[in-house]
Amino acid sequence: MKRPPPDEFVAAAAIVSGPRPLAYVTPFTMTTNAYMEMQKALLGECGFEPRPLSIRHLLLEGGWRGLLDRRNVVMAQWIEMRAFRWRDSYPRLSPSGMLVFLFYLLTLKLARARVIYVVHDHAVHDTAGFGRKVSRWLIAWCRRTADLRVVHDAQAAALYGATYLPHPLFWDSPGAPACPPREPAPLAPLRCAMLGAIRPYKAIDTVLEAWPPGRSLTIAGRAKPDLLDRLLQIVGQRGLESDVVIDPTHQSDQAFSERIEWCDVLILPHASESALVSGAFFEAIGRVPWLIARRSSFIDWAAQHFPQVLPFDSPAELPSLLAQIDIVRQRTPVDLAQVRQGALRHFGWSHCRDMWAAFLSADARVPSSDL
């Protein structure tokens, strides 16, 4: 059910005549991630009309005119990735991709509309060496070009001169199916999973190298053949064939949701020097009893507010963390209803909308103490 906009924006809409201001968004669509649809819905509820910041719309459909209006905004993210092309599982700098990146950077530079750059990553995923250094430079250029910067990790706000805005929960967004109640499972062996695209930056190979024999683990998500071969090789070498199941196919929204509801422990192995936050966290918090995640500033914050979030520095810690969960769940099953209330308080749709609305209405910096 679509939620009404905040009262202050209803009032503002009554005062301001004419069409709604525009919000140019890039990327405009992502078939493998509902984040962009949620962002466009937030912009819509904050009084903006989302439009694509695409070469076609700007040059062929006259969209460039809207970039000259200070009432409008540009919401830009992941522009640095346009400079790369993927070969197998690893990206390479591309001359044509760099030209596309420079086109977008110049567009942001010349726009009179307020440019807001969402810093999602410290570096482009899966890059290494010189390519990784270049990706950091590209992200820095985007940050400097933008009028304002946004992060979803409040602990990174000072690092990037950004404003913290919460990442919405996937299960509390408009149109999302109702989150079914989940009763405490009987004390059967833990069902552990790693879900989402199988990518090098998640360091899944390091998890498999330390995975305790006798513990079941399901890994599901699309994977390139080179990385899949590497993971299967580790499974074979360690004799984990009866414990580890790898499904290297793209998971539909329904399949992903079913696996989330099925598992007892979701493992987020993402390397901390890559992404600021993991989208899977906002899929799982309040739906999965336990999350084990590689330490980052955001995960450290989450662990302070959600006892069911357990950070690790090294995969060698996984056996002891799983044993710890076994002990705790025998005494006190996780009350997911209580966890959901906490998740809604920090990342629920109405809270996200209010914070985004305040930011977009006045370019106000939202203090991280509002977390």
Same domain, 311 and 206: yes
Same domain, 108 and 255: no
**Mean per-residue pLDDT, 68-73:** 94
175: in domain? no
Same domain, 334 and 353: no
Same domain, 215 and 292: yes
pLDDT digits (tens, 9 = 90+) for 26-46: 999 888 788 999 999 999 999
320: in domain? yes
Q: Are 49 and 23 in contact (CB under 8 A)?
A: yes
121: in domain? yes
pLDDT for the residue numbered 335: 87
180: in domain? no
19: pLDDT strictly greater than 70 = yes
Q: Residue 281: CB partners within 8 Å, gap ≥ 6?
A: 268, 291, 293, 298, 302
Same domain, 246 and 358: no
Kindly tell me the sign of the dihedral angle through the C-alpha atoms of 131, 203, 32, 371.
negative
- Lowest model confidence (mean pLDDT) among 87-101, 181-195, 318-332: 181-195
Q: Are 191 and 216 in contact (CB under 8 A)?
A: yes
**Residue 105 per-residue DSSP state:** H
Same domain, 227 and 281: yes
357: in domain? yes
Same domain, 296 and 362: no
Q: Report how far Cα 130 is from the mean position of its chain's Cα atoms.
A: 25
- Structural domain that includes position 130: 7-168+348-370
pLDDT for the residue numbered 18: 60
182: in domain? no
The per-residue b/e assignment along 194-203, b for 16 or more CB within 10 angstroms, e otherwise, is bbbbbbbbbb
Same domain, 355 and 262: no
Same domain, 111 and 152: yes
For residue 302, the domain's CATH number is: 3.40.50.2000
pLDDT digits (tens, 9 = 90+) for 206-218: 999 999 999 999 9
Same domain, 197 and 325: yes
187: in domain? no
Neighbours of 70 (CB within 10 A): 10
pLDDT for the residue numbered 319: 96
Same domain, 316 and 219: yes
Neighbours of 271 (CB within 10 A): 18
Closest CA to 205 of 174, 237, 162, 173: 237
User: pTM of this prediction?
Assistant: 0.89
- The DSSP code sequence of 129-149 is HHHHHHHHHHHHHHHHHSSEE
pLDDT digits (tens, 9 = 90+) for 259-268: 999 999 999 9
pLDDT for the residue numbered 184: 62
Report phi then psi at 183, rounded to 5: -80, 150
Same domain, 161 and 284: no
For residue 86, the domain's CATH number is: 3.40.50
46: in domain? yes
113: pLDDT strictly greater than 60 = yes
- Number of structural domains, the chain? 2
The band of 59, judged by pLDDT with boundaries at 50, 70 and 90, is confident
